[in-house]
Chain A
Amino acid sequence: MPDTAETTLASAAAQRPPFYRDATVVKWLVQVATLILVLFAMFFLASQAGDNLTAKGIKTGFDFLDVDPGIQLNGGIDDDPATGGRALWVGMVNTIRLSIGGIIAATILGIFVGVARLSNNWMVNKIASGFIEYMRNIPLLVHIIVFFAVLGGLNKFTADVGPINGWLHISNKGVSTPRAFISDGFYQWAVFLLIGAIAGRFVMKKRKAKQDATGAETYPLGSFFGVVAIFAIVGWFLHPIFGWVGSIFQTIADVIDVIPQSAVRVALSLIAIAAAVWWIRRFLDSRRTPAGLAKLTDDDWFRMIFAGVGALLAAVFFFIVWPGFSSWLLNSSRDLFEVAANKFGDGRDGLPLGINRPDIAQRGNFANPGPAGLNLDTGVAALFFAIVMYTAAFIAEIVRGGILAVPKGQTEAAQAIGLRRSTMLRRIILPQAFRVSLPPLGNQYLNLTKNTSLAIAVAYTDLVQVGQTILNQSGKSLEVFAIWMLFYLACSLTISAVVNFFNVRLAIVER
């Protein structure tokens, strides 16, 4: 009997359907055909663009990064950039600054509005929801332009335009506030802070363990900040003693200088191949059952082949496509360490931080905000406030959704064990609400970062505006677009990584 069964099976295997009915074959045929179609389309478009650019006499290439762009930028770290690359860097710094400031401000405002939206108080509730609806239902660009028009209509800038003379001026020239700046000894002081943080963490863990063991309140977080504060105060006066840190960086830079390029190439390729091997081994392990290795599907094979081909392509990239990459990597990391060696080095005895109040620069008959203070000119102030308030409205809704998603039983349980309202919010509701809100919050941070590109509407020099200027002058469309794309993708990845990090830490530990 077993013989017959086996024969049937064998004959079934022998009678495979024709190839065009074989699910595996058709599946891969369709996929590969689509891939080829997409690749062909891309190749076709690229070659068209190449032909058309040649016909117009425009050369492609990134050489414009090293050439003087001949443009003036206002409101950045460098008014008169020497190279195209430097100009784009000024734009990137502005975008990053605006994004980080915006994210912090929008989060604070958003949580505040979101909580107000849930208030029992009718007045607070209605005002919060009015704010949210107003901000959400009008395009951000319109908000920016409205803010710009409103700020432009404010009083003229003078020494006593206020509201707090000498500290805060709000005028038709924008907003001027005191500026805190990093001064000479900052980096040595930062070493103190770092040591303080390590020591504080140690103390915090100790006290936390004690609290868990005895139940006594030992203020673990408070003691952490206490230790850091002690180090910060002591370091404020003693920071020059860390001048020797610079020489460590100098040594590293010297070591990097003697590494041969080919070694870097080999190392990078080996890392790529080792990663692929590691991944394939882990993958095979995951397919291993107590009864032995499971039968691998065509999908599994595809993944493993894909990983292997990817590693080989990486190796090819380092050796053939862009051999200069390794020297670029070496040079830039050496430069980085040399800069660090300089910053951390001896002989920088000044105070770590300084602060300047806004001043006045008289130009003819006109008073202008001077360079000492931190000046948000009208355009960037409009952009910043509009983006912050717009994003805050969305964050408020996310916070509201998060709080409402906390099961009612949690509130009731907290009340039953006699927690006060504020304790309940702080210890029970908000932590759980935060867990639900975090991923969409990350999306909003991404949106905020991308929305800073609307700076072009108020002529603020962010990356897109600088890129657009360079693009108009040199016609380097593809190159500038590639830089835009890479930069914003890098921003997206960074924000996603940070959000994911917290997401994993906050996730419910399932037992």
Chain B
Amino acid sequence: MSMSQLDAETTTILAKLDADKALRPDEPSLPVGEWMGKNLFGMGQGSPWAVVRSTLLTVLFGLLALFSYRGFLNFVFSEERRWDAVRTNLRLLFTQAYPDENYTRVWVTVAIVAALAGLSLGLMKVGRGLSMKRIATWCFAWGGLIVVGILLREASALTNADGSIQLDVDKQPIREGFIDKLGERGTWWVLGLVLLVIGSVIWFTLGDLRRRTTFVPAIPFGLVTLGLFISSVWWFNWGNYTFTDDGFTFDPGNKVAGSTQMPWTLIFVVLLVAYLIGQFLLRSERAGTFRGVVNGLWLLAPFVTFWVVLRGPVIDWSHVLSTHLPMALGFIVLGGALLWFLTQPGIGEKGRIIAVALILFALFNWLAAFMGWYPMLQKARLSFLFLGLAAAIAPNFIGDAKQRLKLIYGWVGFMTIFHILVTIINTPSSVEVPTEDFAGGFMITVYVAVFTMIFSFPLGVVLALARTSRLPLFRMLSTVYIEVIRGVPLITLLFFFSVFVNLFLPEGMELSGLAAVTVAFVLFSAAYLAENVRGGLQAIRRGQYEASDALGLTTVQRTMFIVLPQGLRVSIPPLVGQVIATFKETSLLAIVGVFDFLRIARDVIPAQTEFLGVKQENLLFISAVYFIVSYSMSKYSQRLEKQLGVGER
């Protein structure tokens, strides 16, 4: 019995229960008094003790909640807080020292992500949407929180004519009276009351049944809310705070700068248009294909945005035309021809021998490189390896021309993208930044997490397959690797890789700091991922293996078509958990000296002369960002679970 398997089991139990809750129709609303009696004062359980206990708990925990809320508000809105430190440094927090003149690249990246998100949302199979009851409850909850907050929060301090705070004899600020306090928080009053009014209108104009059975499609509702929020940069005075080399501009009573207004508006338009296109494509018969294409683009997006858009490559066209293009064409055409040859019916054993020979040749190329026998571009070595792997799976595509062309198309597409990307990655960058890496802040946090997931996924699946393999040496190697990596803390691996990895590399090979750290993340994450996948693989019943043996499938076919599809489906919830964990773990970048989100908040901003020692505000802000990202991912995983119907067969 393995620990991780049960761990995955717990996750599945919980996720299933939560997903059930989302599936269940909303319950009929009780009258307010009855609801409170049942949920707050323990009525209806038929025992006076239950009433006393529940009432006591409600009072106790209610007071705890109120005190914490008041403390939180007083902290956030206190006069001592320097929220301008966060506002002015938003650019630093998200993109570190990315140069002003290239900043369009950042906006293009966000727009690409927005376009893909719009397409995905448009192509999504949607559920029944949000019930009116949920919207109303939501309005009541937030409106109520805001109004209670206004009442709870301590009054503002009185200020002198010069703007300084009036202090009493104990050096405590003198605060205004309760009534004055209520009078001055106009915007908050408006927001809270509007929400309460919307909630009441929905609640009282619709009867209980209508409330529960009228649905608003969730995505358009979300888009409209987002649109309202983004439009507020044109009509609401958020304040204009910018930080340039000349110092910082501080203009609280104004709208945000035009350099923020325009990009965000355009990005929202891109999102909206992409969503509409997605909706249009959804009506077509080939919606499934489009969905696959968009998923492929998502996979490509991190590479394209990072290496092409953000990095601004300087391409030496003459070199590309003389070396890279012919090589790519050679691999595409000759490799394609070879694969066409290998998929002809009746190729028999010859095909396998060629595939094995190709793989051995590819591996030999690396040995030759380490030994210094003959040089070869890394790209070519990798291409040979891919060709060998494609040849190995070629027998699965033996058949008529249509069947054979599938493999050829796949090969041509993959090679084209691979060669273009590798060529671009090997160019110098045109973006000039003071630090070693052009990326930083939240940007690097996200990219490291994304690249870690992309690269650790195949490695993790291979490790999981090896660990459940019938071949003892594979099992042993994989088990040792997984247990050793899982046994040590991530931070030790990071130290090791960030400082000492270059000791292990032969002459002429070198990994930059960030690349080395990413490799450490990948190796670490793969071990955990392997355990999650293993849980899924072990959930496959024995009969499946026996049936595929009875059909005469080869090991590769059985793995590709029977084992992995079923096993991966079961392990999706723990895999999303792994994504969230990886995203959170990237905060360790701050310890090994990368200027990531956390490090900028903790070390960089408190060192600026304008905001010396301002730390708590930044930390609260980044906590909120981390929370929003992870929380929405975990909610999404619950939804996914419901869609996949894991464990419901």
Contact = CB atoms under 8 A, between A and B. Distances in A.
Interface of A: 20-21, 27, 30-32, 34-35, 37-38, 44-46, 48-49, 52-53, 119-124, 127, 133-134, 136-142, 145-146, 149-150, 153, 299, 302-303, 306, 397-398, 400-402, 404-405, 436-437, 439-440, 442-443, 446, 450-451, 453-454, 456-457, 464, 467-468, 471, 477-478, 481, 484-485, 488-489, 492, 496, 499, 503
A48 B587 contact: no
Contacts of A496: 3
A77 B67 CA distance: 39
Given A49-B504, A440-B3, A34 B474 contact: yes
B560 interface: no
A146 B13 contact: no
A492 B588 CA distance: 21
Nearest to A147: B619
A174 to B, nearest CB: 18
Interface residues of B, number: 70
Given A122-B40, A299-B472, A401-B10, A141 B496 contact: no
Nearest to A37: B363
A442 B113 CA distance: 40
Interface in B608-639: 615-616, 619-620, 622-623, 626-627, 630-631, 634
Contact of A439 (B1, B42, B61): B1
B63 to A, nearest CB: 10
Interface stretch (B144-152, B338-346, B483-491): B483-491
Contacts of A443: 3-4, 7
A488 B492 CA distance: 10
Given A141-B598, A451-B489, 6 more contacts: A121-B54, A121-B61, A124-B58, A146-B619, A153-B616, A302-B472
B291 interface: no
B591 A149 contact: no
A488 B496 CA distance: 15
Given A121-B42, A299-B472, A404-B13, A138 B492 contact: no
B334 interface: no
Given A44-B370, A133-B631, A440-B7, A397 B14 contact: yes
A468 B495 contact: yes
B381 interface: no
B477 A34 contact: yes
Given A31-B474, A121-B58, A45 B619 contact: no
29 contacts: A37-B363, A52-B502, A122-B39, A123-B40, A123-B57, A123-B62, A123-B65, A127-B61, A136-B634, A137-B626, A139-B598, A141-B590, A142-B587, A146-B623, A149-B615, A149-B616, A153-B616, A302-B472, A303-B472, A397-B14, A401-B14, A404-B13, A440-B6, A450-B490, A457-B590, A464-B492, A488-B489, A492-B483, A492-B486
A122 to B, nearest CB: 4
B471 interface: yes
Given A48-B506, A120-B39, A439 B7 contact: yes
Contacts of B3: 439-440, 442-443, 496, 499
Contacts of B590: 141, 457
A127 B370 CA distance: 59
B58 A123 contact: yes
B505 interface: yes
A137 B627 contact: yes
Contacts of B353: 20
Contacts of A37: 363
Interface string B353-393: 10000000001000000100000000000000000000000
Contacts of B616: 146, 149-150, 153
Contacts of A27: 471
Given A49-B504, A127-B61, A142-B598, A439 B489 contact: no
A137 B634 contact: yes
A153 to B, nearest CB: 7
Given A127-B64, A437-B10, A439-B7, A145 B489 contact: no
Interface in B50-81: 54, 57-58, 61-62, 64-65
B9 to A, nearest CB: 8
A96 to B, nearest CB: 14
B584 A140 contact: yes
Contacts, number: 188
A400 B14 contact: yes
A137 B484 CA distance: 27
* List of 7 A-B pairs having minimum Cβ-Cβ separation, nearest first: A122-B39, A137-B630, A31-B473, A453-B489, A139-B584, A139-B587, A450-B489
Contacts of B506: 44, 48
Nearest to A133: B631
A145 B471 contact: no
A210 B591 CA distance: 61
A150 B619 CA distance: 10
B634 A149 contact: no
A124 B61 contact: yes
A49 B630 CA distance: 39
A485 B492 contact: yes
A401 B483 CA distance: 26
Interface centre among B14, B65, B473, B588 (most CB of A within 10 A): B473
A127 B64 CA distance: 9
B488 A450 contact: yes
B631 A137 contact: yes
Nearest to A146: B619
A139 B585 contact: yes
A485 B490 CA distance: 11
B503 A481 contact: no
A27 B469 CA distance: 11
Given A122-B39, A139-B585, A145-B619, A454 B491 contact: yes
B626 A138 contact: yes
B221 interface: no
A139 B626 contact: yes
Given A127-B61, A457-B591, A488-B489, A142 B504 contact: no
A34 B473 contact: yes
B246 interface: no
Interface centre among B10, B13, B500, B591 (most CB of A within 10 A): B10
A122 B598 CA distance: 35
Nearest to B632: A137
A21 B554 CA distance: 13
Given A124-B61, A141-B588, A145-B619, A440 B10 contact: yes
B433 interface: no
A499 B17 CA distance: 27
